[in-house]
Amino acid sequence: MAESPALLDGGCLCGRLRYRLRGVKSAYWCHCTMCRRASGSAALPWASVARPDFEITAGTPSVYESSPGVRRLFCGSCGSPIAFDMAREEDVDVTLGTLDVPDALIPTHHIWTQSALDMSEGLGATLPRHPAERPDET
């Protein structure tokens, strides 16, 4: 991934929930069933940041525990999905579409393509595709 900007700000649709990212590690598309259902989209682009590099700057996110140890943060007012936080991981994943400048980060690969919908076939067609997690994430 090309070097990301030092600071990236983002927030939900209604503006009540705001966040800041520092030092993004990677950006990717996720095709898992849970991300699709949480977002209502065929695939969801994420940015991974170290836990200390994700900061809520305004508001308080609502939390849904989608699996044991997995929290999904979202705006309780407008429903915008903001972050995916697995307790066992060092990183937090943040939805690219909620960045103030979403094109500041470009996904470099796809994960969980074993669950991909046919309609997402051309999405980032030249990027590496992994049937489950990336090999370096297992």
Q: Which residues, other chains included, contact 109 with Cβ-Cβ below 8 Å and sequence gap of 6+? A: 26, 28, 29, 127, 128, 129, 130, 134
Predicted pLDDT at 137 = 53
State percent of the chain over pLDDT 90.
56
Question: What is the rounded average pLDDT of the residues 71-95?
Answer: 94
- Would you place residue 1 in the very low, low, confident or very high pLDDT band (cuts 50, 70, 90)? very low
Both tokens assigned to 137: 């994430």
**Which domains, ranges and CATH numbers included, belong to the chain?**
7-113 (2.170.150.70)
- Given a cut of 70, whether residue 138 has pLDDT beyond it is no
**More reliable by pLDDT, 70 or 116:** 70
Q: How far apart are CA 57 and CA 45, in angstroms?
A: 22
The edge-to-edge listing of strands for the beta sheet with 7-11 is 7-11, 18-22, 54-58
| pTM of this structure | 0.80
Q: How far apart are CA 29 and CA 60, in angstroms?
A: 26
